[in-house]
Structure 1
């Protein structure tokens, strides 16, 4: 009977191992930035959001709060949101990668993983920009946008990518 579940258990075990390895590696990365403020990756995202918003005519500046490991977005002469480590979507990307590599299919796994990471990165930048705009111009929708709408966008993107991976790559027969 256990023999029937062996493929599923193998995939589950690969997922857990990959997830834990990536999670511990990310935590190690974060620990190297203690007392220096926001980590470099999160700062890079904040800078890109600032750059794009400014190019779109939405005057944006960043202000460091090193003690609290965050960066504030100053949009249209008002502090609207803050960027903390959790806003960088790395945890979502780790979850995505763990699932894709649990269904490893050779070199196409790496290509799909890189394409998926790029899509998630772009969606996250758009998500932060959207949150800045909603918070600045429609503050009454801030809580709903931050807690429900924008998480649904980023997690929905992950689910769609997973479905594409499974349907068109992972479970597709090589001879079809």
Structure 2
């Protein structure tokens, strides 16, 4: 029992982190099982992510088109008549946002600043993800020899590195507030 008392903060963090992560993952899985849509194929979130990615690519000056994939639940993004990228459910950043949110809740301060940071961080992660998909699509079009490096290494590092940076910002802010409260 002494070890539990000594590690109460760690146990609390792990309980909140994993509890939140599991709960939100189950909710998201329920959504995926029930949200299939012909109008917003394959489901609304992934469809909107593909649509926003298409629009951003157009802002970069490329002719682009998005169509539903026939072979699997994804949207195909193409540049100049050539389809290069499949936007699947795993590309929509929802799982990344769930991971981010679980960590922030595990280091919860007051509800107002915690929820504000979760909202701002989730919006930034979503926007960063759209940028990631757009740059990946353009990168595959412009330098196709580096497709595997970009998709498998650089762009996952891009999004997860950004989440890690947000966590660091939160922890630094959390520690400053904690130390000020105990002065």
- Give the Å deviation of 1:56: 2.5
| Structure 2 partner of 1:31 | 33
| Structure 2 partner of 1:11 | 13
Stretches of 4+ aligned residues off by more than 4 angstroms? none
**Aligned pair 1:110/2:112, yes or no?**
no
**Aligned pair 1:157/2:159, yes or no?**
no
Q: What SS does structure 1 have at the residue aligned with 2:61?
A: coil
- Structure 1: which 5+ residue stretches go unaligned? none
Determine the C-alpha separation between the residues in 2 that align with 1:165 and 1:140: 38
Determine the C-alpha separation between the residues in 2 that align with 1:66 and 1:91: 24
| Structure 1 partner of 2:153 | 148
2:66 to 31, 47, 62: 62
- Give the Å deviation of 1:128: 0.1
| TM-score normalised according to structure 2 size | 0.91
**Aligned pair 1:51/2:55, yes or no?**
yes
- Give the Å deviation of 1:17: 0.7
1:3-45 alpha-carbon deviations (Å, 9 max, x no partner) = 1011110111011110011000000000013475411011101
Q: Does the 8 Å CA contact 1:35/1:69 hold for their aligned counterparts?
A: no
2:171 to 162, 166, 169: 166
Determine the C-alpha separation between the residues in 1 that align with 2:109 and 2:166: 15
**Aligned pair 1:120/2:122, yes or no?**
no
Q: Does the 8 Å CA contact 2:17/2:106 hold for their aligned counterparts?
A: yes
Determine the C-alpha separation between the residues in 1 that align with 2:106 and 2:70: 37
Q: Does the 8 Å CA contact 1:105/1:170 hold for their aligned counterparts?
A: no
**Aligned pair 1:93/2:94, yes or no?**
no
- Give the Å deviation of 1:171: 5.8
| TM-score normalised according to structure 1 size | 0.94
Q: Does the 8 Å CA contact 2:74/2:89 hold for their aligned counterparts?
A: yes
- Give the Å deviation of 1:117: 0.5
